Amino acid sequence: NAGVTQTPKFQVLKTGQSMTLQCAQDMNHEYMSWYRQDPGMGLRLIHYSVGAGITDQGEVPNGYNVSRSTTEDFPLRLLSAAPSQTSVYFCASSPDPDYEQYFGPGTRLTVT
Amino acid sequence: DAKTTQPNSMESNEEEPVHLPCNHSTISGTDYIHWYRQLPSQGPEYVIHGLTSNVNNRMASLAIAEDRKSSTLILHRATLRDAAVYYCILRANDMRFGAGTRLTVKP
């Protein structure tokens, strides 16, 4: 199993550009989530999904969209990048929210 | 939302036990207590979780107070590789990470 994979590893965007961060897992987990981590801070939940076709907002959803058309993939879309979205983004998956979550290696995003 | 309180930082000597405390006085009856750690430049890594009873695994032990308003993560013999930020998190339909406790292990 590859576990949770994220692409790209690094990305630089200009203000106003849009992009999609990819997240995939091969463990058949129903629960997937996206977090952002600003320098020196803890992780903050952006969006999560409890299964294909079902998504919900977390703590900091503004400026981000998600969809979940398959169990394996959970992409995160930045609609119009802003410097405040400069952060490291982590994707995670779990068979259930009360179980162990597996985190991806992260995507480091810089918005100039 | 149920919240957790942890000390900002702790120090330990190598090969000594470490007790990392967490207060969660507003925990609800169905909230699991999870612990994760994050090594520098890596994603968080699961350590242990429990609901009411104390739990042990190969990495650590979790001691949960009888009233569930606090818990303690126990690393039995700290190594240099255990230096990380440790997060205590409650499951409340979504996981909220606080600032965690930065553990420094001295040789």
CA distance A51 to A30: 5
Q: Which of B97, B101, B102 to mutate to test the interface with A (most CBs of A within 10 A)?
A: B97
- Residue B94 Cα, gap to closest chain A Cα (Å): 7
Buried b (16+ CB within 10 A) or exposed e, A29-52: bbbbbbbbbeeeebbbbbbbbbeb
CA separation for the pair A81, A110 (Å, rounded): 9
Report pLDDT digits (tens) over A56-87: 999 899 999 999 999 999 999 999 999 999 99
CA distance A72 to A93: 10
Distance from CA of B99 to the nearest CA of A (A): 5
Q: Is B102 on the interface with A (CB under 8 A)?
A: no
Distances (CA, A) of B96 to A5, A61, B43, B104: 22, 14, 15, 23
Retrieve residue A35's tokens: 């977090």
**Residue to test with chain A: of B91, B95, B97, B101, most A Cβ within 10 A:** B95
Between A and B, how many CB-CB pairs are < 8 A?
51
Q: How does strand B9-13 pair with strand B101-106?
A: parallel
Per-residue pLDDT of chain B (107 residues; tens, 9 = 90+): 668 999 999 999 999 999 999 999 988 888 889 999 999 888 999 999 999 989 999 999 999 999 999 999 999 999 999 999 999 998 745 677 888 999 999 99
